[in-house]
Structure 1
Amino acid sequence: MENKENFITEDQEFPSCEPLIEFNNVYKSYGSNKVLNGISFSVKRGENLVILGRSGSGKSVAVKCLVGLTKVDKGEIFISGKNITKLNEEELNRTRMKIGFLFQNGALYDSMTVRENLIFTLQHNHKDLTEQEMASAVKEALQNVGLEEAIDQLPAELSGGMRKRIGLARALIIKPEIIIYDEPTAGLDTITAREIIELIRKIKLKYDTSSIIITHDLTCAKYTGDRIIVLKDGIIRAEGSYKEIENNTDDWVKSFFEK
């Protein structure tokens, strides 16, 4: 999987300097457990930011704070210049409509077909679409992930990799400005993981999305991230390109690359 020839080779556009997401000195604790300890980072428009870290490092909590599912104890988080820590629930919901999620397990509704899963998400975010507009959006979303033929299948009939791709189609169908990928290659075989990595890269090129990719998979980090931050115990221990992270002299950061 480390063979770079297996991955997309198109030049990616350089992200805009304008930050779409900003974390400013964010703290979050659960009782005596300090999960985020004053982290600050930003995501530019059109940038893929990888958050790399082991279980319990604070990756998932940072995302929950970003979408307002948990409140920060201290600090500020901005999306498109709006401080989401100050928004009410209605304003938060409007902001969430800009964000697509690819959950680790796909998180599809088992009793619904692929078509119904996508339409359900679309209707939740865009209530005034016609049936023709919804059908067109579903078709485009499935074309993006190469699974038009799965439209009338149930999740139980799909492989793990296919469910992950349908999950990505569901994230894309709302045309988000931001996509959050939660362990996108976890539990997948090498070939399927490579397909998901290529899809992440293609989506960025096609839609100019900004993404946060939560992972502990170094290959995923290497090929999807414009920039990487490494979290340990809620603190950013390193930040930079994959090569810069790989050459970091911090013993804990170096431990990621030990065979």
Structure 2
Amino acid sequence: MIKEKENTETTANAGTKAPIIEIKNLHKTFGKNNQVLKGVNFTVNKGEDLVILGRSGSGKSVTIKCIVGLITPDKGEIKVFDENVLELTKKELNEIRVRIGFLFQSGALYDSMSVRENLAFTLRKHKRDLSADEIENEVMEALDNVGLTEAVDKMPSELSGGMRKRIGLARTLILKPEIILYDEPTTGLDTITSREISELILDIKQKQKTTAIIITHDMACAKLTADRIIVLKEGTIQAEGTYEELEKSEDEWVRSFFE
């Protein structure tokens, strides 16, 4: 059943599994008048891929940045792995972050480092007990997961947009996160490459048993990856349901995303 023009807590359609992410009454204002989030509520169940849709400025990216503590909300509650993120110490928050992968829209690679060095840097920062051989094995396994082992010695400037996205994803996967937050994973890519990235998101879910939130404007990506979709409008949840339910919505604004 589709929920429209409500801002009550949504319920996942993934059986009786307990939520791995819980967002309650989330508010965030920038400056004096730019209220981006106005009481957002939703849950994500373990093993679920949730897509968040919305126009630019609707609060999509702000929401997932709040989840990992990159942005502090003005009010609300964020629970991840049953821990209240807003009450954690810096050390406790960092321990949570290691279990959450964040794929930034740009890929966020270090331009002065090779692909190998980009991935190894992440490992050395978070897993200091690994030997050089173990780091190399982890790097190659992560690249194999995204189909780019041959790019290990390339510099970011030598990579196409699609390859940069894949390497960024490999760097995210190298810590074997339980949750992955994808911020516009197909933006700027051609149709074929966008589909390849969407299929890779599905493949990762099946192989790594991850849970994900996917921020996207790409409706082909949403259709392929989403177990469930929520639609944000001006900082509140306008609708929630499956792709098939929402494309038949009686709300003309919601339906406009699917046309």
Instruction: Map Cα deviations across residues 147-178 of structure 1 (whole Å, 9 max, x no partner).
Output: 00000000111111011100110000000011
How many angstroms does 1:257 deviate by?
2.4
How many angstroms does 1:105 deviate by?
1.4
The aligned counterpart of 1:70 is: 71
Partners of 1:182 and 1:194 lie apart in 2 by 16
1:128-139 alignment, distance < 5 Å: 128-139=129-140
Matched-pair contact (CA < 8 Å) for 1:24–1:76: yes
The aligned counterpart of 2:22 is: 22
The aligned counterpart of 2:126 is: 125
Does residue 112 (structure 1) correspond to residue 113 (structure 2)? The answer is: yes
Letter paired with 2:94: N
Gaps of 5+ in 1: 1-13
| Number of residue equivalences | 245
Partners of 1:124 and 1:224 lie apart in 2 by 31
Identity in percent: 62
Instruction: Map Cα deviations across residues 93-134 of structure 1 (whole Å, 9 max, x no partner).
Output: 111111112111111111100000000111112111111111
How many angstroms does 1:15 deviate by?
6.9
Does residue 157 (structure 1) correspond to residue 154 (structure 2)? The answer is: no
Instruction: Map Cα deviations across residues 170-218 of structure 1 (whole Å, 9 max, x no partner).
Output: 0000000111111011000111111101100000000110101001111
The aligned counterpart of 1:87 is: 88
The aligned counterpart of 2:249 is: 248
Letter paired with 1:224: T
Partners of 1:243 and 1:126 lie apart in 2 by 42
The aligned counterpart of 1:235 is: 236
Change (3 A) 1:156 1:16: farther
Please give the secondary structure, in 1, of the residue aligned with 2:72.
Answer: coil
Letter paired with 2:211: S
Does residue 208 (structure 1) correspond to residue 228 (structure 2)? The answer is: no
Runs of 4+ in 1 over 3 A off after TM superposition: none
The aligned counterpart of 1:11 is: none
The aligned counterpart of 2:6 is: none
Partners of 2:156 and 2:16 lie apart in 1 by 37
Over aligned residues, Cα RMSD in angstroms?
1.1
Matched-pair contact (CA < 8 Å) for 1:16–1:46: no
Q: TM-score, normalised by structure 1?
A: 0.92
Letter paired with 2:39: G
Matched-pair contact (CA < 8 Å) for 1:117–1:170: yes
Change (3 A) 1:140 1:53: same
The aligned counterpart of 1:7 is: none
Partners of 2:200 and 2:16 lie apart in 1 by 21
Letter paired with 1:26: L
Please give the secondary structure, in 1, of the residue aligned with 2:207.
Answer: helix
Matched-pair contact (CA < 8 Å) for 1:16–1:45: no
Letter paired with 1:186: T
Matched-pair contact (CA < 8 Å) for 1:48–1:212: yes
Q: TM-score, normalised by structure 2?
A: 0.92
Partners of 1:150 and 1:247 lie apart in 2 by 43
